[in-house]
Amino acid sequence: MEISAEKVKELRERSGAGIMDCKKALHETGGDLQEAIDYLRKQGIVKASKKTGRSAEEGLVGLSVSPDGSEASLVEVNCETDFVARTDQFQHFVKEVSNVVLKNGPADLNLLLSEKMNQESVEEDLKALIARLGENMVIRRFVKISAHLKDQERVGAYLHAGSKIGSLVRVRGDKVTEEVCRNISMHVAAMHPAYIHREMVPLSVIDKEREIINSSPELTGKPPAVLEKIVNGKLSRYYSDVCLIEQPYVKDTSGKKTVGQYLKEIDPKAEVLEMVRFQVGGPL
């Protein structure tokens, strides 16, 4: 089959592999990008365990937090160019939409578009902004999370400079402060964990990871006991890469303290119950 230059380029961006390796991987997997990445990993060419999920959309992430810190919302609104994303009108619209989500918590996009905002509906305001700025725009996704203060829960929120990445966490613990929650949400924004803890990783994902590890050329001929030890060690490193609680805490300069250890120092019973991370153009 013929493999397009665009698909080879995307695989190179996502894997960091060379052109010829990418072409071969795509041919071997029928042009399936994710299968091609797994193929490269099995060949020992790619060792990264997370996908970048690159996308071309421009836009901003909006964040709103209730005065008592019990609720927060995130929205992603896309436009065609970064020039429009940096305009005051677009930034104001994104903030207003996040405020509507925080206030009303609509269940889906149609309900959000019908919500009132500045005397008009969100949809009418969006159409007016499209006409004014001359670019197509779309509300791509949104979320609201709520903490139960009586259960010692708090919400942490963080919006990265430039408003391209935003994150929310819900944490429980009677000694957990607003600052701690914000630190955790900042870590989520910076390190992009896929799961809160290893128990949340689907069995299918673990099985796939085991398959990739076992296919590594460096393990060929190893005794079963040695092989199992190596595989478990590599799985532990995988968990420390994709699970929030096991990741090295981003604000710990020594690099030895995990997020879980940081939390337990504050409150031995503290736990992260929920996390959300939006990045403009990132995977849904």
CATH code at position 40:
1.10.8.10
SS3 175: coil
Round to whole Å and give the CA distance between 167 and 118: 26
Q: Which of 57, 71, 67, 25 is nearest to 44 (CA)?
A: 25
Same domain, 175 and 71: yes
Q: How many residues does the chain have?
A: 284
Round to whole Å and give the CA distance between 1 and 58: 33
Tokens 């690159």 belong to which residue? 54
Residue 223 lies in a domain: no
SS3 5: helix
Same domain, 4 and 125: no
Residue 220 lies in a domain: no
Residue 4 structural domain: 1-48
Regions in the chain scoring below 50 on pLDDT: 47-56
Same domain, 24 and 65: no
* C-alpha 107, offset from chain centre: 21
Total domains, the chain = 2
Round to whole Å and give the CA distance between 262 and 258: 6
Residue 86 lies in a domain: yes
Same domain, 180 and 122: yes
pLDDT score of 46: 60
CATH number at residue 64: 3.30.479.20
Type of residue numbered 274: E
* C-alpha 242, offset from chain centre: 11
pTM over 0.85: no
Residue 161 lies in a domain: yes
pLDDT score of 54: 32
> Which DSSP category does 43 fall into?
T
| 3-state secondary structure string across 120-145 | EEHHHHHHHHHHHHCCCCEEEEEEEE
Task: Output the average pLDDT for the chain.
Answer: 90
Q: Which of 166, 162, 161 is nearest to 143 (CA)?
A: 166
Q: Which token pair is 185?
A: 């949400």
Same domain, 28 and 140: no
Q: Which token pair is 72?
A: 């927060």
pLDDT score of 39: 85
Phi-psi map region of 277: left, alpha, beta (phi>0 left; psi -120 to 50 alpha) = beta
Residue 71 lies in a domain: yes
Same domain, 101 and 132: yes
pLDDT score of 57: 73
Same domain, 275 and 141: yes
Same domain, 25 and 137: no
Residue 36 lies in a domain: yes
Residue 246 lies in a domain: no
Type of residue numbered 32: D
End-to-end CA distance of the chain: give it in Å, rounded: 29
Same domain, 92 and 166: yes
pLDDT score of 48: 37
Q: What is the CA radius of gyration of the chain?
A: 22
158 - beta bridge partners?
Answer: 167
Round to whole Å and give the CA distance between 226 and 79: 53
Q: Which of 188, 181, 153, 163 is nearest to 75 (CA)?
A: 163
